[in-house]
Amino acid sequence: MVSEMGTEVEAVQWLNGALTLLDQRCLPQQEVYLTCTDVAAVATAIQKMVVRGAPAIGIAAAYGVVLAAKQRYWQAAEEWQYHIDQDLTLLAQSRPTAVNLFWAIARMRERIKHIGGDDPVHRLLHEAESIHHEDNQANRCMGELGARLITASCNVLTHCNAGALATGGYGTALGVIRCAFRLKKIHQVYADETRPWLQGSRLTAWELLRDNIPVTLLADGAASYLMKQGNIGWVIVGADRIAANGDVANKIGTLGLAVNARYHGVKFMVVAPTSTVDLSLSHGDAIPIEHRPAAEVLTLGGESVAATGAQAWNPAFDITPAALIDAIVTEKGVIESPDQNKTMALMQNEVYLPQN
């Protein structure tokens, strides 16, 4: 698939009756693809971060349900709906913070209810492909909406990776950046390295360079000083879960960026599909935060970088309060200065569009 700006990355693909994933642990040095032929392999790929990014995790899980149904129906055609429930549970346990995972599983579960005793694979595959396609289209819509918010040409800063690698294609935060760059609204992208997995330096830089978008890396701790220089117009990030009041869970380090952006007068934009909004949680403190192994902090590229005996605290995400966010961009529209009333209105299709 070719986008407006080069060869688009396809991190999640259904090929020859199996799920093929671009192994993001190997980028940028190698482009390695893993093939998952059963649901256990999909759950492991999500947990081990072969595939990452909330929308991409949801899409992979949907295809995982297809693989589970294929196996369960072959083993016991009359009881496959009963046995597949444990497969859905396995997928749900793979990562706790990204709500798109649970949203996709719930959507596939609803589809399962209406299949009856027939062979489920074709209909579930159609549903998974619909989720995939809808996400791609939503990203392109968000790209256009978010780009409208950038009224003057500027440099922007992003954190982690919220591009085609993290979605069904094009990207959320990077979708806005791609669109705005095409419209000559962005001169330069600054990308945090994003420790400890270095998604910024390994993945975001790789994606942007493929589209000939100039990118400069910086250590996470350098972002505040960069803002102080007056070089940044917007911070643009993705999200793994958004609470009803507009609080946002995103990659660890996002909260610090939001605090620094507010202090330095830099606008802060969150870009995510409505499948990321969790209206069951009234505020961000209720969002479950995944804590990952200490080795991710204590080592780098498999080599120890810490003093022997040192401990590590490794939350994968933090919570940015709605009060620090200037705009949340979704495929349904934009919430400026988000709060619970605006979030609820948007989710009920009362669209808040950006002011030109």
What is the set of active-site residues?
A: 240
Angstrom distance (rounded) from CA 235 to CA 160: 12
Specify the 3-state DSSP secondary structure of 1: coil
31-39 own/partner pairs: CB under 8 Å, 24+ apart: 36/63, 36/64, 36/67, 37/67, 38/67, 38/68, 38/71, 39/64, 39/65, 39/67, 39/68, 39/71, 39/87, 39/90, 39/91
At 340, which amino acid appears?
A: Q
User: Identity (one letter) of the amino acid at 222?
Assistant: A
**Burial track 143-174 (b if 16+ CB lie within 10 A, e otherwise):** bebbbbbbeeebbbbbbbbbbbbbbbbbbbbb
To the nearest 10°, report the CA torsion of 252, 256, 257, 258: 110
Residue 85 main-chain phi, psi, to 5 deg: -60, -40
- Enumerate residues 6+ apart whose C-beta is below 8 A from 213: 5, 177, 178, 181, 186, 189
The C-alpha atoms of residue 249 and residue 168 are separated, in whole angstroms, by 20
